[in-house]
């Protein structure tokens, strides 16, 4: 075989697909709409923060951006996960997955390229958000310093499992509609479990009704089983860190990255199992 | 037919009605006789009284400082409203005698017989520095304390009598003066004796637990055999170096509700040209999982969460306040809060006048109105002082229109780019059609 006709290796194929995916996303109005939406959320939040000083003269807090950062990270995670949920299912629905596979392109390369492109978009959006905080100063002139703006630097790791979950759903679904419905249902369910569990656990036991106490014990039991593999639990790590007024621990970051890697492996396996046909 | 139906209905309803529970008339929990640990635990500053129910098989104590425990046979019950276990020491409190044996990894660490202890608080129970006294020392100190208290009561009564006699003498002298008698020189009575805060608790039976950090097991032995129900695990936690200086920020408009600023990361955000007051407190900083099991064995603690326990107002009197590169001294001063007159709410805070009792002993911080001043720091300088630094951020108004415009910039930029690209493509297509 002539050297110039030799097919590229796995990394080469992944890079080619990644460039295609990334450029397609860059030219999509989605990216810019989401970027503007994130900045608008920050602007509205800043308005609320400043409104506080109409009635109060002093406020004590470790980081006024903490809640906003969590909202932005969760918002971007869910939106970008939704886009990933429609990615492989979309290829399958439009029969382009079949073309890729006979290329031949390994399933692993497809999964990795789509995920890497979305992670880069995520990083880009976070960059836009940081830049907006520094330039627009939505909390008041001079309130946000460089350290404050970069305070959310560790947070995106907690969002990666949600993105990978989108890809896992997409690897299994036969159509975009099915993928979107399943993804949203799973995310809503996971978030609901985490929110209810967090609320019940944060209340003193003597203020719980018997039914609430049973639900709390049930959810805590469930958490020991599904907690380590739940993308929702990784987002809860952010909220727990906020409640403890402490930065996200390295253990939480490591567990989020491990869950992401495991989900990507599972997505590759499921995509191969499911095949190319819708 | 109808009679048969009614009979059938009765047969159906009878078991249902029997199955219905009778309404509870009162909630009296079931009590059971168990062995619990009654404890006087050292919490890093003072002794606190607590108990470890029979349902908990682990006790946590502060390492390096003695705590005192007693095994007590009592009535224990679960109270569903607070979801906690309580004991009824009033109805039954039988101290179990024996020898306390503490082991670590199977090896015996200590063995002691039941003793008698008192706690000596030299400066009062709320000012810390409690010391445990044992056996004869405890009895002697308590007897001495009782004598001192009795002597004080006698002196106080005598002084009160002298004051009453003095007041009677004044009244008599006044009446005599009205009748034209010459002024009488009446000697004032001696001042009332100052009560002592020193306290020695009554001697009680107990075992001393003074352990190095680590995990242990303990049990009570009697006649060479372990007393059933007294086996417990003991965790001794190291709480050294937990001292901290924390601040309370008192807003000018809400002086009764201070805002806690416990860590140096807890920044103070203030409106320009506002005034707030800063008070410093000596505190201890713990992690919940170390501290809560010591003082509240039944409380749920959150791993990793920090906890600050305020002890007493700090004696620090000088701080440094810097806006930019211009440090200035900040002196603690007594302040008086005056309610505004009339029926409206409101008050003013001012320096106390001579003879007035201060409502607030605080550092007054005036926030500049200059838009150039955005950040300041309050620091404590001095050798040996606990580290203290708080950042103050002045919240100036924002440029709302600019913020909104920048937020919409990504979308607007994309739309402009898309329109430009569309225009170029249309022009190219038009050129090719014309060329054809």
State pLDDT tens for residues A224-248. Answer: 888 888 888 888 888 777 766 667 7
Kindly tell me if the per-residue pLDDT of A88 is higher than 80.
yes
Q: Which of A39, A57, A246 sits opposite B271 (nearest CB)?
A: A57
pLDDT in tens, B309-344: 998 899 888 899 998 878 899 999 999 988 877 767
Q: How confident is the model at residue B8 (pLDDT cuts 50, 70, 90)?
A: low
Interface predicted TM-score of the whole assembly (ipTM), two decimals = 0.85
User: What are the C-alpha distances in Å from B255 to residues B219, B248, B332, B337, B392?
Assistant: 51, 11, 16, 9, 19
Query: CB-based contact (8 Å) between A161 and chain B?
Result: no
Residues B162-174: pLDDT tens digits?
999 999 999 999 9
Q: Is the peptide bond before A104 cis (omega within 30 degrees of 0)?
A: yes
Q: Does B372 touch chain A (CB under 8 A)?
A: no
User: pLDDT grade, residue B5 (50/70/90)?
Assistant: low
**pLDDT tens digits along B393-413:** 999 999 999 999 999 999 999
Coil vs helix vs strand at B255: coil
Phi, psi of B269 (to 5 degrees): -100, 125
pLDDT of residue B67: 95
Give the gap in angstroms from C-alpha B395 to the nearest C-alpha of chain A.
6
Pick from B269, B396, B403: which is nearest to A61 by CB? B269
Q: Which residue of A has its CA nearest to B252?
A: A57
Judge whether B53 and B76 are in contact, CB under 8 Å.
yes
**What is the full DSSP assignment across chain A?**
--GGGSPP-HHHHHHHHHHHHHHHHHTSHHHHHHHHHHHHHHHHHHHHHHHHHHH-SEEEES-TTHHHHHHHHHHHHHHHHHHHHTHHHHHHHTTHHHHHHTTT--HHHHHHHHHHHHHHHHHHHHHHHHHHHHHH-TTSBTT--HHHHGGGGGTHHHHHHHHHHHHHHHHH-SSHHHHHHHHHHHHHHHHHHHHHHHHHHHS-GGGS-HHHHHHHHHHHHHHHHHGGG-HHHHHHHHHHHHHTT-PPPHHHHHHHHHHHHHHHHHHHHHHHHH-S--
Among A100-104, B107-111, B182-186, B377-381, the minimum mean pLDDT is found in: A100-104
Pick among B246, B251, B271 to test the A interface (most A CBs inside 10 A): B271
Indicate the residue of A40, A58, A208 with minimum beta-carbon distance to B259: A58
B-contacting residues in A 62-121 (Cβ below 8 Å): 62-64
Selected residues 213-252 of chain B with any CB under 8 Å from a CB in chain A: 249, 251-252
CB within 8 Å: A132 and B407: yes
- Of the candidates B266, B398, B402, which has its C-beta nearest A61's C-beta? B266
Write the Ramachandran bin of B121: left for phi over 0, alpha for psi from -120 to 50, otherwise beta.
Answer: beta
Mutation to test the B interface, candidates A41, A47, A58, most B Cβ within 10 Å: A58
Share of chain A above pLDDT 70, in %: 95
Q: What is the pLDDT of residue B146?
A: 95
Residue B225's beta-bridge partner residues? B222
Measured CA to CA, the distance from residue A50 to residue A36 in angstroms comes to 21
Counting one residue from A and one from B, how many pairs have CB atoms under 8 Å apart? 147
Cβ–Cβ contact A29 with B under 8 A: yes
**Predicted pLDDT at B392:** 94
**Chain B positions in Cβ-Cβ contact with residue A143 (cut-off 8 Å):** 269, 374, 393, 395-396
């Amino acid at each position: 075989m002539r050297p110039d006709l030799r097919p590229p290796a796995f990394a080469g194929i992944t890079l080619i697909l990644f460039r295609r995916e990334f450029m397609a996303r860059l030219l999509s109005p989605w990216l810019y709409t989401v970027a503007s939406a994130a900045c608008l959320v920050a602007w509205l939040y800043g308005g609320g923060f400043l409104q506080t000083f109409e009635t109060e003269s002093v406020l004590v807090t470790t980081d006024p951006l903490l809640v906003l950062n969590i909202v932005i990270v969760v918002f971007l995670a869910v939106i970008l996960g939704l886009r990933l949920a429609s990615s492989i299912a979309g290829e399958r629905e439009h029969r382009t997955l079949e073309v890729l596979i006979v290329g031949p392109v390994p399933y692993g390369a497809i999964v990795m390229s789509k995920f890497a492109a979305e992670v880069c978009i995520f990083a880009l959006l976070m960059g836009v958000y940081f830049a907006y905080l520094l330039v627009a100063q939505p909390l008041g002139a001079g309130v946000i310093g460089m350290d404050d703006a970069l305070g959310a630097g560790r947070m995106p790791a907690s969002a990666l499992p949600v993105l990978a979950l989108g890809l896992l759903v997409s690897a299994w679904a036969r159509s975009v509609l099915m993928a979107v419905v399943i993804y949203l249902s799973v995310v809503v369910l996971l978030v609901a479990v985490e929110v209810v569990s967090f609320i019940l656990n944060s209340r003193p036991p003597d203020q719980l009704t018997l039914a609430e106490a049973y639900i709390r014990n049930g959810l805590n039991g469930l958490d020991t089983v599904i907690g380590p593999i739940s993308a929702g639990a990784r987002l809860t790590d952010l909220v727990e860190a906020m409640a403890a007024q402490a930065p996200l621990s390295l253990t939480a970051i490591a567990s989020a990255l491990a869950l992401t890697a495991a989900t990507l492996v599972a997505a590759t396996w499921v995509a191969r199992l499911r095949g190319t046909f819708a | 037919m109808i009679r048969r139906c009614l009979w059938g209905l009765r047969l159906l309803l009878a078991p249902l009605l029997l199955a219905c529970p009778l309404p509870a008339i009162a909630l009296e929990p079931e009590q059971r006789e168990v062995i619990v640990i009654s404890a006087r635990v050292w919490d890093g500053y003072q002794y606190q009284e607590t108990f470890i129910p029979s349902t908990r098989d682990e006790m946590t104590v502060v390492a390096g400082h003695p705590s005192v425990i007693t095994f007590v046979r009592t009535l224990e019950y679960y109270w569903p409203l607070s979801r906690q276990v309580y004991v009824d020491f009033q109805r039954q409190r039988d101290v179990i005698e024996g020898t306390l044996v503490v082991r670590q990894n199977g090896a015996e660490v200590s063995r002691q017989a039941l003793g008698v202890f008192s706690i000596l608080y030299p400066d009062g129970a709320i000012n810390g520095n409690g010391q445990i006294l044992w056996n004869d020392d405890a009895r002697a100190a308590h007897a001495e304390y009782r004598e001192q208290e009795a002597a004080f009561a006698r002196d106080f009564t005598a002084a009160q009598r002298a004051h009453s006699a003095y007041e009677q003498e004044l009244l008599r002298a006044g009446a005599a003066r009205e009748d034209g008698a010459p002024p009488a020189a009446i000697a004032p009575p001696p001042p009332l004796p100052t009560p002592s805060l020193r306290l020695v608790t009554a001697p009680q039976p107990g075992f001393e637990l003074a352990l190095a950090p680590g995990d242990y097991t303990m049990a009570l032995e009697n006649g060479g055999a372990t007393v059933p129900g007294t086996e417990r695990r003991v965790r001794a936690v190291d709480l050294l170096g937990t001292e901290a200086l924390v601040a309370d920020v008192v807003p000018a408009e809400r002086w009764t509700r201070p805002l806690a600023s416990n860590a140096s990361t807890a920044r103070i955000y203030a409106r320009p040209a506002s005034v707030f007051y800063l008070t410093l407190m000596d505190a201890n900083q713990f992690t919940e999982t170390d501290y809560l099991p010591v003082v509240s064995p039944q409380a749920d603690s959150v791993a990793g969460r920090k906890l600050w326990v305020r002890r007493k107002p700090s004696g620090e009197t000088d701080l440094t306040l810097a806006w930019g590169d211009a440090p200035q001294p900040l002196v603690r001063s007594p302040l008086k809060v005056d309610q505004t007159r009339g029926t409206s709410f409101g008050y003013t805070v001012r320096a106390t006048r001579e003879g007035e009792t201060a409502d607030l002993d605080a550092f007054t911080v005036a926030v500049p109105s200059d838009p150039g001043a955005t950040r300041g720091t309050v620091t404590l300088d001095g050798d040996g002082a606990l580290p203290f630094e708080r950042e103050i951020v002045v919240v100036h108004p924002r440029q709302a229109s600019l913020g909104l415009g920048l937020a919409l910039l990504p979308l607007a930029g994309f739309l402009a780019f898309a329109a430009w690209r569309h225009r170029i493509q249309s022009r190219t297509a038009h050129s090719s059609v014309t060329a054809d």
